[in-house]
Structure formats: C-alpha cells, structure tokens
C-alpha cells in the first residue's frame, strides 16, 4: 500500500460513513508500525451547532474517535491484513490528555503508532496535533471481531 491513502480507499477499509467518518486522508504509512492521518475541521461539521454556539470547539471524544479511525486503518491495512469479514472496535482508552481546543479551520494531524498486539487485540499510542502543537494524546485499545 502507498504512503498516501485517499478518502475513497479509507471508505473501503473501515465502515464509518458521514457524518461519522473523521479521517480525510492518510499521509504516511509504515506497515505494522505507524500511520499519520488528516482531519480537516470545518464549520460544516454537525456537532458545531451545539458544541458550543458562538464558540465552536471539536468535542474531545471526537478527537479520540478520529485517532481510533486512523488506528483502524493502520490495523486493517497491516496487522490484520484487511480482513473484510471483521471489524475493529474501540475497547478502551488510557492516558488521555487534551491540551488545546480544536476549532473550525484547524487541520488535525493524527499520528498513531502500534505499541503491541495479541491475537485479536491491538494497543496503539496516538497524538493529535494542530500546527505542530499537540492538542490531544491517548493510548487506545481495540479488538478485532467478526462483522
């Protein structure tokens, strides 16, 4: 697989769809090791209507979800070898820290790295950045299961 993965390829790898697809493209991929995704944050996102009127901020749980989706693309294109009859579920998050708000106009860079894997469980570390500054970080645990 190439370093760059476009949105059409992402949609063939993970099951998420609008309005819940939270990764627009992959700009770096080192199989079984690392993946860097991009989420372009726009005022058109449906959650900005209520979070918060007059001061829109991307919800932290959606930043975590964007990390998880990027990690799912990493897992399904390398570790789990695109097992089409399986789906990857987020099973846990640890060491979560939010450092700065993410607002419309930001480009969220999602850097996910594989920490370890056992059979159908994968652990990754994630960093979300805007303008080369960390806005969030977490460790994510995911489990592979049949659809």
Length of the chain: 147
Q: How far is Cα 113 from Cα 123, in angstroms, rounded to an integer?
A: 9
Query: Among residues 34, 35, 104, 32, which one has the least CA distance to residue 23?
Result: 35
Collapsed DSSP state (helix, strand, coil) of residue 41: coil
Residue 86 bears catalytic tag: no
Q: How far is Cα 60 from Cα 103, in angstroms, rounded to an integer?
A: 11
Question: Which of 16, 51, 86, 120 is labelled catalytic?
Answer: 51
What is the set of active-site residues?
A: 51
């Amino acid at each position: 697989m190439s370093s760059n993965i476009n949105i059409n390829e992402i949609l063939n790898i993970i099951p998420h769809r609008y309005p819940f697809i939270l990764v627009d493209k992959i700009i770096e991929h080192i199989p079984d090791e690392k993946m860097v995704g991009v989420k372009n944050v726009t005022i058109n996102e449906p959650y900005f209507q209520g979070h918060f009127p007059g001061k829109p901020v991307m919800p932290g749980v959606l930043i975590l979800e964007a990390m998880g989706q990027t990690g799912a693309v990493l897992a399904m294109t390398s570790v789990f070898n695109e097992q089409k009859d399986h789906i990857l579920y987020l099973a846990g998050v640890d060491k979560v820290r939010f450092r700065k708000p993410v607002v419309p106009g930001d480009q969220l860079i999602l850097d996910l790295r594989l920490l370890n894997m056992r059979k159908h469980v994968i652990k990754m570390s994630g960093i979300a950045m805007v303008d080369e500054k960390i806005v969030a970080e977490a460790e994510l645990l995911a489990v592979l299961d049949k659809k």
